[in-house]
Structure 1
Amino acid sequence: MRKKLLVILLLLVVLIVLVVTRCGGKKDQQNDPADGQGFAQQSGKAEQPTELKLGVVTETESGAMQLEVEQNGEKTVYVFSDITINDWYVPAVNYVVTNGLMSGTDVGGGLSLFRPNYGMTRAQLAMILYRFAGGEPVAAPRHTYGDVSSGEWYYDCVNWADTNGYIKPESTDSFGVEAYCSCEEVLAVLHRLAGSPESNASLEDYPYAPKVSETNLSAVRWAWEKGLIAEDECVWYPTQAVSRAQIALLLMRYDQLIGASGEAA
């Protein structure tokens, strides 16, 4: 009798262990950060980052960044004397130079200056966005601005950005070609380029959320949600002038996380 009772108890224990294992052993695959994907799930498939076109980065004897780019079978070597190999923006500079979006200034002796900490004007942003999105000259400008002159290097780029609504003018009379771009302004431009997607993301962990203007709040929410901005490398203060290095990083992340540059127009 005792042996039968022990056998029954043992079987009950085994049965309980099996039930608990089957019910509680499955992890939630829908949004588990441990799966290493980190992208929103759509139709059961995770978005995968775009593979970027990059050049080969090496370090010169003086510690500067050397970048070798190959296009159409020809190799071009850039040596940026104002960038060291360990600077956080090296991958971003690699991306924008390799893809012909930005370049440095030749200072002779085989050296160039990228000027990573310089600000960027609205005209310069229009030109870079024009290249990034594969823009084309518009048949006729939507508006006429006193500071946008025919024949200037930025003319086609500004008119394209204005006609498509990517960059808003400063006023009805001035586009603001010489004004420097702020961080939230650039995020708003990229948000429009992406089609102004809805975003209700929380900015609780974004340290400068109270400084974001109501006008650009949706764009900043979207950028924070997508991972375009993070506090890992630099400070993304909404009203502060954004640097060339930061622009390069934003373009690289946009291309990688949202889509190929040629598909963004």
Structure 2
Amino acid sequence: MSRQFPSLKSRFATVLSLVLVGVLFVGSLFGALPVHANSDASLSDLQDNIDTLFPSASYISGLEYHSTWSELSRKTMSEANGIEITYEAIFDDLPQWEDELPTMNVYLIAESSTEAAKAQFDAWADSHEFTSGLWDKVSAGKDYFTYYAPAGENTDLVKYRPLEEGNLHFVSYYGNVLIVVNFYRTAGEYLKNNVDAYLQYLDQEEETLAILNEVVIYAEEALKFYLGTSFSVEGPTDYDYYLTHSGYSLDITKTVEVPRNGTLSLEVYIDDSSETGSLLNMYGLEDPAVGMFAVNLNENAGVEWNFYDPSTSSACRDSSGWHHLVTDNSLNLYEWETIALNYGADGGLKLYLNGQLQDACPVSTPRVDTPVYLGDYPDDTIQESFVGYVKNITTSFSVDEDQNVMDEVQSGDLIFADVSTSDPYADAIEYMKDEGIIQGYSDGTFRPNQSVNRVEILKMLLLGFGYKVSSNYSVTAFNDLKEGEWYLPYLNYAVKLGIVGGYPDGTYHPGDSLNRVEFLKILLIAYGLNLSDYPIATLYPDTSKTAWYAAYVQYSKDEGLLDPDSKGNFNPDKALTRGEVAETIYRLLEG
């Protein structure tokens, strides 16, 4: 777990602004920053401000079955040079219940200096309980760590507190003040639903620790304001771009040659003043074009990459045509992190963080050749740039197996943007294009390796065989079609000729992919062949002579229409690609 919390701005900003007239404090995106305080807080400073340094019970929320809290006490500590507060959660189903309730005990402990606080923090982080395996460190950063302690007598860094259930802890420091938040269950009379809820909070440790983190953030901001322990954020000096506000926008294609097929990488640095938002953007409020993408930094400091291609299917595509890739890990504070995007014909979409593959999606569509903006897309109504530092924007161009740059190949002897004259299906695709049988997609691609569906094939076949298709865009058959769809003239005509039929439930499933034997049947019927008495001789090892499609496969074998695989199998149920369809029609027409 990285040091983070769910909202873009800490809730402290809203709560404290209501208390302090005219003053609005903006919380950080990612948590505390080790500081060089202008003044150290003493115990008396903490005592004098004990009413303001801790949030009220109403500020705390997030537990599913204990949605509200009450304050039990706030006082000077007897075990350390500090102050403490104790909150107790209220069980929603039985508000009057008083035993075994989730409890939060928070310490603010003043050390003599920032250096002393860090030394104590480091000593706690290296405690014997961690090295011996008694306690489990859940997460850690430069200025914080969290841990889980099992039931027993040794659970707390400061106090002796025997507990009969596991417990969670968040430890940090701000200037010379150590901040410790302890989450545990008290003893008492047993109530099953109440205890089960607490155990669920332990299982959902990331969500529970996020609640503890909110308290830490509040304390840090309160220390900053009430005790004057302000600090200056010193960002890196070796940056190329400092994205200072949500409206920041820079067209990087004016200074960097960004490939259509290749890799784009950049280094990003986030600190306590950073904000979520757009890191790279290719589109605004208008409808996106195929091959556009956007890269965002989300509220958990993770990287999200969205790539638009509604006609290519993948496990990472949503219903609107966006393919989504996300990093497994969050970006670390105060460190340069390298984000790399691989896209296009060489390997599809791949998202890397610091050289480690985070996510991948088999979409080989090239990037559309339009500007790529660092930060916000300009001139739209929403300003959403990420705030932080960027350097070393670099690119590399993908090459084919002959070391030809794919962008150059595609811009030279190209039939379509993704089909060169060296493509194995080049002759067939070029013929089909020249004859007006295929047109490709709006981004200039043909996508030969993409599967073909049950309506795309009809257009190819009817135009390929010279049928005169009338412009009938009404739904004349099947109950899963929409009026006005582009494919209706071809589907209506094919139904009229008996080339295709639907399913028993009255549907056609226009978007379903077509397998090899379904294609052969439609192909050969559309070509005008009647194979009802066609002799079956020798088929392929995986093709039965008694199968309904045996005659179609036999004809294909005899005429060399569809090739078997390297093992000699026909693979009847395998989805057919657009390149294979073009090649088969071409062989039939030119054979």
TM range (shorter): 0.5 to 0.7
**Letter matched to residue 490 of structure 2:** C
SS in 2 for 1:113: coil
Cα distance per residue 1:72-119 (max 9 Å; x no partner):
xxxxxx652322432211111111111111122243xxxx21100001
SS in 1 for 2:494: helix
Equivalence map 1:182-197=2 (5 Å): 182-193=515-526, 194-197=528-531
> How big is the alpha-carbon RMSD for the aligned residues of Structure 1 and Structure 2?
3.2
Partner of 1:242: 576
Partner of 1:37: none
Partner of 1:145: 478
Q: Note the C-alpha offset of 1:129.
A: 2.0
**Letter matched to residue 439 of structure 2:** S
Q: Which TM-score applies when normalising by structure 2?
A: 0.28
Whether 1:95 and 2:428 are equivalent positions in the alignment is: no
Does the 8 A contact of 1:123 with 1:178 survive in 2?
A: yes
Cα distance per residue 1:16-48 (max 9 Å; x no partner):
xxxxxxxxxxxxxxxxxxxxxxxxxxxxxxxxx
**Letter matched to residue 94 of structure 1:** E
Q: Note the C-alpha offset of 1:203.
A: 3.1
SS in 1 for 2:586: helix
Partner of 1:159: 492
Whether 1:251 and 2:571 are equivalent positions in the alignment is: no
Partner of 2:416: 80
Equivalence map 1:21-170=2 (5 Å): 62-64=408-410, 79-107=415-443, 112-133=444-465, 134-137=467-470, 144-170=477-503
SS in 2 for 1:115: coil
Pair member with larger Rg: 2
**Letter matched to residue 409 of structure 2:** G
Cα distance per residue 1:113-147 (max 9 Å; x no partner):
11000011111112222212313239899962112
Give the number of the structure whose residues are more often strand, by fraction: 2
Partner of 2:534: 199
**Letter matched to residue 159 of structure 1:** N
**Letter matched to residue 203 of structure 1:** T
Residue 138 and residue 101 in structure 1: after superposition, are their counterparts in 2 closer, same or farther (change >3 A)? Answer: closer
Q: Note the C-alpha offset of 1:207.
A: 4.5
**Letter matched to residue 148 of structure 1:** L
Q: Note the C-alpha offset of 1:65.
A: 7.5
Give the Cα–Cα distance (whole angstroms) in 2 for the partners of residues 235 and 95 of structure 1: 28
Give the number of the structure whose residues are more often helix, by fraction: 1
SS in 1 for 2:418: strand
Identity %: 20
Residue 66 and residue 188 in structure 1: after superposition, are their counterparts in 2 closer, same or farther (change >3 A)? Answer: farther
Give the Cα–Cα distance (whole angstroms) in 2 for the partners of residues 195 and 90 of structure 1: 27
Q: Note the C-alpha offset of 1:181.
A: 0.6
Does the 8 A contact of 2:473 with 2:483 survive in 1?
A: no
Whether 1:173 and 2:173 are equivalent positions in the alignment is: no
Which region of structure 1 is more displaced relative to structure 2, 224-233 or 85-94?
224-233
Residue 219 and residue 138 in structure 1: after superposition, are their counterparts in 2 closer, same or farther (change >3 A)? Answer: farther
**Letter matched to residue 92 of structure 1:** A
Unmatched tracts of structure 2, length 5 or more:
1-404
SS in 1 for 2:455: helix
Residue 106 and residue 177 in structure 1: after superposition, are their counterparts in 2 closer, same or farther (change >3 A)? Answer: closer
Partner of 1:48: none
Aligned residues: 183
Unmatched tracts of structure 1, length 5 or more:
1-58, 68-77, 258-265
SS in 2 for 1:122: coil
Does the 8 A contact of 1:121 with 1:178 survive in 2?
A: yes
Q: Which TM-score applies when normalising by structure 1?
A: 0.59
Give the Cα–Cα distance (whole angstroms) in 2 for the partners of residues 97 and 230 of structure 1: 22
